[in-house]
């Protein structure tokens, strides 16, 4: 079973699965509560099967993941093995991405190989601020080289984050680690690695647009912000010269796909551009078309 592109209206490339069947959560409970308060989200955490049901009802497909920030948070995430298995059970609507903790060095490299080889993940999700690492640092090159060799893309958080927002010291998370210019270094050194810069990269939107223009192997996912609040430069790029590199993402449960797809109508994209952004670009990147 695989995703039938004719049966889905959109592919959401940015969906968090925050809890597994055992009740283990992606983040420490206090951090999860702080993020929900910041976003004003009333969406409950969903298991992978509940997530599949949610997207199947909407005739959408979704890339699902968690984030392994074990070292920086002192908290192991919900089970990536269970997430991948659940996505395979629901392969008509879900595409599993893995995650490894870059601060674990060689163990992270081996875990990346295991997740692709044994679990069948189709890419990886990283959050430099939450995971506490500089993606441009030489010490992480072996990890990027391995993922490049494995032939799967990475989604990397960029810009401001709701994680820790509004708390003293922002939970200790450094926004500077999520400057997209750090990913320009990664894309330059690993030209066969597809790098998805997640979110409008506030306050570095122009930097992200420059990278996506310059590096063939870079993309932008538009998750985490209502399209009503996109900068004029981002809207112009999505409408014209970068329309083939823009990807619909919601950031569920922080922002729902229903809200995103409703609000994007206010931008009045031409029908062909809208179709590229909400489905066709992701299908091409993920090898579904």
The 10s digit of each residue's pLDDT in 139-195 is: 999 999 999 999 999 999 999 998 888 888 988 999 999 999 999 999 999 999 999
pLDDT at 29: 80
Closest C-alpha to 39, from 161, 156, 175, 126? 161
Checking if the pLDDT of 1 tops 70, the result is no
**Which residues, other chains included, contact 98 with Cβ-Cβ below 8 Å and sequence gap of 6+?**
65, 80, 84, 112, 115, 116, 119, 121, 123, 124, 125
- With bands split at pLDDT 50, 70 and 90, how would you rate the model's confidence at 28? confident
CA distance 119 to 55: 22
| 70-85: average pLDDT | 96
Dihedral of alpha carbons 166, 99, 48, 219, sign: positive
Overall average pLDDT of the 83-97 stretch? 98
Assign 42 a pLDDT band (cuts: 50, 70, 90): confident
Is residue 117 within 8 Å of 81, Cβ to Cβ?
Answer: no
The total of other beta-carbon atoms located within 10 Å of residue 43's CB is 14
pLDDT beyond 90 at 70? yes
Phi and psi at 132, nearest 5°, equal 70, 45
pTM for this predicted structure: 0.96
User: What's the CATH number where 280 sits?
Assistant: 3.20.20.140
Report whether 251 contacts 17 (CB < 8 A).
Answer: no
Beta bridge mates, 198: 157, 221
Among 115, 110, 104, which residue's Cα sits nearest to residue 146? 110
DSSP state of 117: H
31: confidence class by pLDDT, cuts 50, 70, 90: confident
Give residues with Cβ within 8 angstroms of 119, minimum separation 6. Answer: 80, 81, 84, 85, 96, 98
Print the domain residue range for 19: 5-285
CA distance 224 to 199: 6
As a whole number of angstroms, the distance between CA 169 and CA 167 comes to 6
How many domains does the chain fold into?
A: 1
Nearest residue to 97 (alpha-carbon basis) of 122, 60, 71, 70: 122
SS3 content of the chain, % helix, strand, coil (to 5): 45, 15, 40
So what's the pLDDT on residue 236?
Answer: 98
272: Cβ contacts below 8 Å, ≥ 6 apart:
none
Number of H helices, E strands in the chain: 13, 8
> Collapsing DSSP states into helix, strand and coil, what is residue 125?
strand
Tokens of residue 242, six digits: 């970068």
As a whole-number percent, the residues of the chain with pLDDT over 70 amount to 100
Tokens 């062909």 belong to residue: 272
């Amino acid at each position: 079973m695989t995703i039938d592109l004719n049966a889905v209206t959109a592919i959401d490339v940015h969906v968090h699965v925050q809890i597994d069947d055992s009740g283990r959560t992606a983040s420490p409970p206090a951090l999860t509560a702080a993020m929900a308060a910041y976003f004003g989200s009333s969406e409950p955490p969903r298991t992978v099967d509940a997530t599949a049901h949610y997207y199947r009802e909407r005739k959408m497909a979704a890339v699902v993941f968690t984030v392994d920030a074990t070292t920086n948070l002192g908290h192991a995430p919900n089970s990536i093995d269970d997430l991948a298995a659940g996505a395979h059970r629901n392969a008509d609507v879900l595409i599993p991405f893995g995650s490894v903790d870059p601060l674990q060095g060689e163990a992270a490299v081996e875990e990346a190989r295991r997740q692709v080889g044994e679990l069948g993940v189709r890419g990886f999700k990283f959050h430099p601020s939450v995971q506490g690492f500089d993606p441009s640092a030489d010490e992480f090159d072996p990890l990027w080289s391995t993922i490049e060799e494995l032939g799967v893309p990475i989604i990397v958080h960029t810009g401001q984050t709701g994680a820790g927002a509004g708390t003293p010291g922002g939970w200790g998370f450094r926004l500077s680690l999520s400057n997209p210019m750090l990913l320009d270094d990664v894309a330059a050194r690993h030209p066969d690695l597809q790098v998805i810069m997640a979110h409008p990269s506030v306050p570095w939107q122009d930097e992200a647009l420059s990278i996506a223009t310059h590096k063939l192997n870079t993309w932008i996912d538009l998750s985490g912000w209502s399209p009503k609040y996109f900068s004029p430069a981002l809207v112009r790029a999505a409408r014209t010269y970068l329309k083939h590199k823009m990807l619909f993402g919601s950031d569920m449960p922080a922002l729902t796909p229903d809200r995103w797809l409703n609000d994007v109508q206010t931008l009045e994209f031409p029908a062909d551009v809208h179709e590229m952004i909400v489905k066709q670009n992701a299908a091409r990147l993920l090898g579904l078309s």
